[in-house]
Structure 1
Amino acid sequence: MTAADQTNQVNGPHSKTPQVAARAVGARVQRHEDPRLLTGRGQYLADVRLPGKLHAAFVRSPVAHARITGIDTSAASGLPGVHLVWTGADAARFCSGVEGVLNVEGCVPTVMPLMATDVVRYVGESVAVVVADSRAVAEDAADLVSLDFDELPVVVDPLTARKGGPAANEQLSDNIGLLGGATFGDVDTAFDEAHRVVEATYYTGRLAALPMETRGCIADYDWTSQNLRVWTSSQVPHYVRYCLTAYLEFPEHRVEVLTPDTGGGFGQKAHLYPEELIIPLLARELGSPVSWVEDRRENLMAATHAHEQFVTIAYALDEQARISAVRTHALGDGGAYHSVPWSMAVEPWCAAAVTPTGVYDIPATTYVYEATATNKCPVGAYRGVGYMAGTLAREALADEAARACGMSPFEFRRQNVVKGFPWVNPQGICFDEGSWLETINMLEKMVDYPAFLARQAEARERGRYLGLGLSVFVESSGESTAMGAVHGLPDVYHDTATVRMDPNGCATVTIGLTTQGQGNRTTMAQVAADMLGIPYENVTVRAGESTSHAYGSGTLGSRGAVVAGGAVSSAAHVLREKIIAVAASMLEASPDDIQLEDGSARVAGVPDASVSVTDICTSIYFDSTVWPDGFDPAMEATAAYDPSRPMFSNGGHAVIVEVDAFTGFVKVEKVYSVEDAGTIINPDIVDGQIRGGVVQGIGAALFERLVYDGDGQLQTTTLLDYQVPTMDVSPPFEIAHLCSPSAHTAYGVKGMGESGLIAAPAAVLNAVNDALTPFAAIIRELPATPERIFDAIRKSREQPKAQSVS
């Protein structure tokens, strides 16, 4: 449903459901944000200039776990240009710490201090902050702060931490921050009667989100009005604003949080960080604006990390290779504290408990989710959070099961995939629509599987090792109240949007979502343009610029197009009805006969009877003689939106790689992607999201890892140590789209921002293992580095001989 001439039905809280001609929705409209950003005319956090602005630098712990026995700030305070030095005790006067917890069974809360007071619990935890005339002076002064510690036992291995012993954080004396699970159906009988059981444990490496723009915030407090303005590079500015009231007692109506251009987030900026509370306190204390923008080393050390899970999964298979039950145990390394608000539960809980059966028609499931505390940086949200590890385990085991059963990876999945909708999984979650089987079939066709097998066999005869990996997924799409409810979360999500039309027929749209490169301004303009019947070029979108404007629950969980789009549609519909009412009056026709599109209102069946939207809006503002009786001329409307039911997008990737058996290096040859995100608003933006997410997934699968030594020291603190994928490893893509539109959202759209990263690592790992089958070697750890691949081949007891089954 991407054709520009297709008519879409817009669902929402309207008196009637309008038929809206899709002129902008579905079109490959160029992103109108890009010229400003690509020519250096954007304004990021570091570009914000305020008179008298001071700069902060944090003193961070050089040890992983220790009792603080002394802090001497005298030398730092005496450095010329230094205005203030605070320790944890100074910050604790205003706030004892922020509580982290997720409202799921077995999650034990922790309190993270704004700065450590008595004990430090990971390398990089802040213990003091310096404010000076410049960042350089602040950093110099920070180096002069003298710290004395009595070191404590360091806990770095989650597998041993969960067994007890020394506590990484005394708030969790047994190191368990999360432990829960559930069973649905007769799992034990299924495994007892299984024809075959396949089981494996997969490890997902510890990653950094690594946005191009690091974290930061600026605060400016006006003591005369008691107004606080905070600029922050955040995905959740309204949540930050709320926390400034909840934790620091700034009156919320006197707090404005602004989000300038944001250079990437990927979930890392969907948190409240202690620094975002400290900087406003410093600004109020000093009576001057205070800025903090972290450097890359700080970002790698102190911004939330991701993944690091051990997922053990088992399938019970019957004689026809159908999965009769699945067992899953997800153990996550949560770091020293629960991050706020997502907690260390966000990875293992999502991996095990959110759609544990994936796309497969499995009648019984049992799962356990667990997270342990360690003396590492806290784990938080990251693009595809939890889904990536869960999908990796399900899809990697599917490939292993296919090999064990002598089936192709496509045929094994076809045997088990859900084939009809609506479908209710063992947890009782209803999936109303999807194209799960069609995804598998389309990927097989795109790959030309028989031709690949022939090419693979011929390459092996020449000592070259090609592999094909497949991964299909279903994603909770458009984070909403209904979506949380089906997974047992009581959280409330909704967004608002305001649409205003001017006398010249142009529209300004204000949404609550921030944008970190997703193209929200472009897609929301397309949605508003079609609802209002005006050209896309006549719509201006303001996205998340200030919490004083529209409200947003955050840019996360693939919710932009779904939730913001729904709010824009609802608000624009109010104005659409007014335009149609006045057009009917001007054309002496029934409102039911008015067709609104292409900048004009026309009477159906009367080609010469039309009036431009510009003339209509001008008349609404300046000519009351054309108003219908009781007409309200206000051309501004605000609406809230929260989908009434959860919806799920789906898709899959097939990846071809070549593994060099002598070096262990992997080259990704090509990626095939199939995506079903319902109605597509802008195909170019969707395809860009797929490419970006898959390349991130290639990084997670092959390159990226944060490494701690036994003393809890982070070894990967620069981009020389932490390897990320660059354009030279970005492969060619072939992308296809399916469409099962949601019956519950405006235009039938579904979210898809996280889908590329959810499934790509599994596809890459499966491709590597397919290439390694002649060596009887297998990799179950990410990243699949050359060292791990070379070592697996070296340890293999068999010589190259076997070929992949067809």
Structure 2
Amino acid sequence: MDNPHFNSPPITRNMIGKRVPRSEDAKLLTGRGRYLNDIDVEGQLHACFVRSPAAHGRILKIDTSVASALPGVHLIWTSADIESQCAGMEAQFSADGCLPMTMPLLAKDVVRYVGEPVVLVVADSRAVAEDACDLIGLDLEDLEAVLDPRASIQGGPVANGERPDNVGIRGHASFGDVDEAFNNAAHVVSALYHPGRVAAAPMETRGCLADYDWAQDRLKLWVSAQMPHYVKLCLNLYLGFDESRCEVISPDTGGGFGQKAHVFPEEMLMPLASKHLRSPIKWVEDRRENLLAGSHAHEQFVTIEYAANADGRITGVRTHALVDGGAYHMPPQTMAVESWCTAAVTPTGVYDIPATEYVYEAAVTNKCPMGAYRGVGYMAGTLARECLMDDLGRKLNMSPFDIRRLNVVPEFPWTNPQGIVFDEGSWLETINVLEEMVDYPAFLKRQAEARKAGKYLGLGISVFVESSGESTGMLKAHGMHEIYHDTATVKMDSSGSVTVTSGLNSQGQGHETTLAQVAADVLGVSFESIVVDAGTSTKGAYGSGTVGSRAGVIASGCVNRAAYAIREKLVAVAANMLESSEDDIVLENGMASVAGAPESQVSIADVAMAIYWDESLWPVGFEPEMEFTKAWDTSRPMFSNGGHAMIVELDPATGFVNVEQVFSVEDCGVMINPTIVEGQIRGGVVQGIGLGLFEQLVYDKDGNLSTTSFLDYQTPTMDVSPPFEIRHLETPSKISASGVKGMGESGLIAAPAAVLNAVNDALAPFGSVLYELPATPEKMMRAMQGLVDLEGPEPWSKLWERAGVEPRESGSMETA
């Protein structure tokens, strides 16, 4: 990535940094957006699925005879009907120890989780398709359901025969002398944290509409997705469709949060069925299907241990991350998306810890597969690091601010034990600003007075560092082999208006606004003259997906490079028109002028007109190209940072926890649009409050999901959204042209740790510490009674042995 072709030209900030109202809001707020379910094609049919009612069972018989005779039914498929066309979707990640697994499009021989698609029905309407599903006989022989990841990872009953040891991924590494750190430690603290199983629960559920034109052998697929180009690639890899004959469109998307950064069996089945029937076919799931089979997230068992000297300086950290991966790898990220990220990506967080050792594992179980969800991996890792930091502070009688100040990285650049360089950051300043915002002495006084009155206030803080703008450079730094590929196309018309096409589509983040701000500054034209288009796979630009806080960094970098190529054309012709040197041409406010002589100017629209239609004004050898597609990727990892503090009140009579106030500090470098940044912070933090206090997917002892509607699965609503105070720090990135860093995941990365720390501060008078999320009223009542539901961590020797690791005298680890 040090290739000069990826150099990103500097940007003069004008529109960048301004609170420009979002361009897309007019249509979205007035109901004029076009979501997947708003799109209809003449003659379309509708699909529905028979889904497994059992967590684990052998398929003995599928009787479709009655359903096939139902008027309006056009097609009924089982795995036998499609096996020759697609054996399934194989997924593997290049993280050490990630083992390949194949997810069938329809269950073959065995069902492996409740909700797994078994039979596809296509009919005239969704209602008829659902009626037909009810008429299909599905006979299953019960097999033992594997539901506990801590038991599954140790062997025993097999959840998926493709992985007979129930291991989806297992890896380990050590950096620095960990043994010395723990052997010489004055203090050792350890804990096991268990963030619960949750759903991304986007407002718009999954869906797609496939329209195969047999006369031209072309496929058009509308899909609610964060990665339309990846979906298109999968149409070729798994189904054999020629990419040049496919168009994948992601229309207005009602939220994704990582769930729609996958390709699902249902999305591959619609094109096959459309081609078979020569008719358009639509599938849109209901909320029950989304909660059953739309990918789950975040559940891990994270064991962490700090070694500290007598003063409280941490000298070593051990982390073991075990994720409940479900029945299959979810392509493309696989089960590695949680446990590997938790353990291997910035395992020391913002702290200057010289030695680290980690093990990551994913257990195969008979549950819905684990997928990406905002803050994936980082959330559980931050939860463990930040909450154990509070434990250490309590042990040493230090405030949560002081213990962090003592251990935070003091200056930059800094290289962590893995050898990854952090160029810049405001880590210490974040802690100091949070303490100032909270007014810690005043809070302690109020907390003491409240306790006398029988009210229990708690303060929790959490600071974080986020690998932002996920890139090839970041993956290479961690020894990975995957490549990101992203481009943008910028075109200026003869009238001076501009069209920007990005490969990264939006799910509500405001790309139309922010990318137009970047293009406006590069080209010197007005914000209003720019139109941004994204979400289609046929307009030149390519994208590896709107994931990992990438859009603000990667998409803007691509737009910058493509727009700069047009800028050079404008400067060259403007210099001829104004009889000036190209070095003296300034493009700003819609005008090309001569530096130091503002009266010598011409409109950029007139320059564009000359490039298109007046050859006499061209320099010698000039090529009048006004449309460019450019790629950009970061040369190495870049990192955002920040922190959250929360004040909560615990009601001792009911166990309910109310979040009274949120204080957030964000450093994402240069902000393209502060209003959008603040919206992302608020949304992510509120999601974190939901995850911390009440969201949880619950399976019963037989593997049935009990939380299949919003009556049972509690998501945060405006009535639990607390007042916010937000402060911005600005440490510009040395990598991106405008100094921008990513920040879309930051709220959910750190908010759950702040919630749990605040809850434990409120519980302090009861002598209890909670290590499990969500902190429901039931758990809080038990904690106040001194009862703990979560078992303690396994011994490190046992974890090492299971992972095939032997400690050496140097503290490093090797394969046994």
Query: 1:180 and 2:171 equivalent?
Result: yes
Q: How far apart in 1 are the matches of 2:91 and 2:446?
A: 52
The Cα shift of 1:504 comes to 1.6
Q: Contact 2:182–2:188 at 8 Å: present in 1 too? A: yes
Q: Per the alignment, in what secondary structure is the counterpart of residue 752 of structure 2?
A: helix
Q: Contact 2:10–2:738 at 8 Å: present in 1 too? A: no
Q: How far apart in 1 are the matches of 2:540 and 2:715?
A: 37
**Superposition TM-score, scaled by structure 2 size:** 0.95
Q: How far apart in 1 are the matches of 2:409 and 2:770?
A: 28
Q: Per the alignment, in what secondary structure is the counterpart of residue 615 of structure 1?
A: helix
Q: How far apart in 2 are the matches of 1:544 and 1:567?
A: 16
Query: 1:424 and 2:415 equivalent?
Result: yes
The Cα shift of 1:684 comes to 0.3
Q: How far apart in 2 are the matches of 1:421 and 1:198?
A: 28
Aligned counterpart in structure 2 of residue 316 of structure 1, from 293, 307, 317: 307
Partner of 1:673: 664
Query: 1:768 and 2:759 equivalent?
Result: yes
Distance change >3 Å, CA 577–CA 366, structure 1 → 2: same
Q: Per the alignment, in what secondary structure is the counterpart of residue 452 of structure 1?
A: helix
Distance change >3 Å, CA 18–CA 723, structure 1 → 2: closer
Q: Contact 1:12–1:745 at 8 Å: present in 2 too? A: no
Partner of 1:381: 372
Partner of 1:170: 161
Partner of 1:29: 20
Q: Contact 1:256–1:548 at 8 Å: present in 2 too? A: no
Q: Per the alignment, in what secondary structure is the counterpart of residue 306 of structure 1?
A: coil
Query: 1:641 and 2:632 equivalent?
Result: yes
Query: 1:730 and 2:728 equivalent?
Result: no
Q: How far apart in 1 are the matches of 2:428 and 2:593?
A: 43
Number of paired residues? Answer: 787
Q: Per the alignment, in what secondary structure is the counterpart of residue 636 of structure 2?
A: coil
The Cα shift of 1:15 comes to 11
The Cα shift of 1:18 comes to 5.9
Query: 1:602 and 2:589 equivalent?
Result: no
Partner of 2:50: 59
1:602-653 superposed Cα distances (whole Å, 9 cap, x missing partner): 1111131111111111111222211111111121111011111210010000
1:292-341 superposed Cα distances (whole Å, 9 cap, x missing partner): 00000000000110011000001001011000000100111000111111
2:74 partner letter:
H
Distance change >3 Å, CA 72–CA 667, structure 1 → 2: same
Query: 1:624 and 2:602 equivalent?
Result: no
Query: 1:102 and 2:93 equivalent?
Result: yes
Q: How far apart in 1 are the matches of 2:356 and 2:204?
A: 41
Partner of 1:134: 125
Q: How far apart in 2 are the matches of 1:575 and 1:678?
A: 26
2:311 partner letter:
Q
Partner of 2:343: 352
Aligned counterpart in structure 1 of residue 324 of structure 2, from 304, 315, 333: 333
Q: Per the alignment, in what secondary structure is the counterpart of residue 196 of structure 2?
A: strand
Q: How far apart in 1 are the matches of 2:142 and 2:18?
A: 61
2:712 partner letter:
D
Q: How far apart in 2 are the matches of 1:164 and 1:780?
A: 26
Q: How far apart in 2 are the matches of 1:49 and 1:255?
A: 18
Distance change >3 Å, CA 13–CA 727, structure 1 → 2: farther
Q: How far apart in 2 are the matches of 1:575 and 1:250?
A: 35
Q: Per the alignment, in what secondary structure is the counterpart of residue 21 of structure 1?
A: coil
Q: How far apart in 1 are the matches of 2:122 and 2:6?
A: 56
Name structure 1 gaps, 5 residues minimum. Answer: 1-10, 798-806
**Superposition TM-score, scaled by structure 1 size:** 0.96
Query: 1:47 and 2:19 equivalent?
Result: no
Aligned counterpart in structure 2 of residue 690 of structure 1, from 670, 681, 691: 681
1:142-164 superposed Cα distances (whole Å, 9 cap, x missing partner): 11110001110011111111222
Q: Contact 2:196–2:696 at 8 Å: present in 1 too? A: yes
Q: How far apart in 2 are the matches of 1:795 and 1:448?
A: 31
2:729 partner letter:
L
The equivalences for 1:114-125 within 5 A come to 114-125=105-116
Q: How far apart in 2 are the matches of 1:700 and 1:413?
A: 24
1:438-468 superposed Cα distances (whole Å, 9 cap, x missing partner): 1101111111111111111111111111110
Aligned counterpart in structure 2 of residue 211 of structure 1, from 173, 196, 202: 202
The equivalences for 1:166-315 within 5 A come to 166-315=157-306
Q: Per the alignment, in what secondary structure is the counterpart of residue 772 of structure 1?
A: helix
The equivalences for 1:388-467 within 5 A come to 388-467=379-458
Aligned counterpart in structure 1 of residue 466 of structure 2, from 472, 475, 478: 475
The Cα shift of 1:57 comes to 0.1
Partner of 2:521: 530
Partner of 1:149: 140
Q: How far apart in 2 are the matches of 1:389 and 1:547?
A: 38
The Cα shift of 1:128 comes to 0.3
Partner of 1:742: 733
Q: Say which is worse superposed, 374-383 or 619-628, in terms of deviation.
A: 619-628
Query: 1:513 and 2:504 equivalent?
Result: yes
The Cα shift of 1:795 comes to 2.6
Q: Contact 1:494–1:563 at 8 Å: present in 2 too? A: no
Distance change >3 Å, CA 109–CA 20, structure 1 → 2: closer
2:536 partner letter:
E
1:66-116 superposed Cα distances (whole Å, 9 cap, x missing partner): 000000001111111111111111121211111122111111211111101
Q: How far apart in 2 are the matches of 1:117 and 1:796?
A: 44
Q: Per the alignment, in what secondary structure is the counterpart of residue 297 of structure 1?
A: helix
2:124 partner letter:
D
Q: Contact 1:54–1:132 at 8 Å: present in 2 too? A: yes
Distance change >3 Å, CA 296–CA 555, structure 1 → 2: same
Partner of 2:83: 92
Name structure 2 gaps, 5 residues minimum. Answer: 789-816
The Cα shift of 1:16 comes to 9.3
1:375 partner letter:
N
The Cα shift of 1:545 comes to 2.8
1:497 partner letter:
A
Q: How far apart in 2 are the matches of 1:15 and 1:609?
A: 34
Q: Per the alignment, in what secondary structure is the counterpart of residue 269 of structure 1?
A: helix
Q: How far apart in 2 are the matches of 1:292 and 1:438?
A: 50
Q: Per the alignment, in what secondary structure is the counterpart of residue 197 of structure 2?
A: strand
1:466-487 superposed Cα distances (whole Å, 9 cap, x missing partner): 1100100001110110011111
Q: Per the alignment, in what secondary structure is the counterpart of residue 84 of structure 1?
A: strand
Q: Contact 2:732–2:740 at 8 Å: present in 1 too? A: yes
The Cα shift of 1:796 comes to 6.4
2:637 partner letter:
P
The Cα shift of 1:782 comes to 0.4
Q: Per the alignment, in what secondary structure is the counterpart of residue 242 of structure 1?
A: helix
Q: Contact 2:693–2:776 at 8 Å: present in 1 too? A: yes
1:502 partner letter:
D
The Cα shift of 1:746 comes to 2.1
Partner of 1:650: 641
Partner of 1:713: 704
Partner of 2:356: 365
Q: Per the alignment, in what secondary structure is the counterpart of residue 606 of structure 2?
A: helix
The Cα shift of 1:548 comes to 4.3
Q: How far apart in 1 are the matches of 2:442 and 2:425?
A: 29
Distance change >3 Å, CA 12–CA 436, structure 1 → 2: farther
Q: Per the alignment, in what secondary structure is the counterpart of residue 558 of structure 1?
A: coil
Q: Say which is worse superposed, 555-564 or 162-171, in terms of deviation.
A: 162-171
Q: How far apart in 2 are the matches of 1:16 and 1:214?
A: 39
Distance change >3 Å, CA 639–CA 19, structure 1 → 2: closer
The Cα shift of 1:42 comes to 0.8
Q: How far apart in 2 are the matches of 1:346 and 1:503?
A: 46
Aligned counterpart in structure 1 of residue 743 of structure 2, from 752, 756, 759: 752
